[in-house]
Amino acid sequence: MTGPVLCAVDVSNPHRDDHVLRAAARLAALDDAQLDVITVVPDYGMSVVGTYFEEHHHDKAVEEARRRLNDLVAGVVGEEANAQVRHLVVTGNAYDEILRVAEADGASLIVIGAHKPDFRDYLLGPNAARVVRHSKCSVFVVR
């Protein structure tokens, strides 16, 4: 691998992505690659829904996501390894932001969990399915 391993996690569901992060850490270690861990905060500011939130809601949400992301990574890979991980908190649509960051950073691999499948996306959640379909690099889906 030449670029980092980008692992996408959802910090709003504690411990649901522990196994995804463990898999990403193992894959990054195989090639001594940088591990980047990303979580995406929804952007409600531009919609009608955004008018119902207080002025600094987004900033508070990003700060809370950053804290949860750090706690998640430290808890799964340990404090020492966590210090080497790049933590990314971005705002927007999950699959769009994962793809944007992967391309901008030259990621060699995206690691993502297969969550929330429905009848249309049998065994693969909608965000994971879109990342797999549109990614310019390899994608490892953890079930």
Residue with tokens 């990314």: 88
Residues of the chain with pLDDT below 70 are: 1, 44-53, 55, 116-124
Strand, helix or coil for residue 87: strand
Q: What is the reported pLDDT for 119?
A: 41
pLDDT of amino acid 46: 58
pLDDT at position 121 is 40
Beta-carbon contacts of 30 under 8 Å, excluding residues fewer than 6 positions away, are: none
Alpha-carbon distance 135 to 143, whole Å?
19
Give pLDDT, residue 105.
96
pLDDT at 51: 58
Quote the pTM value. Answer: 0.88
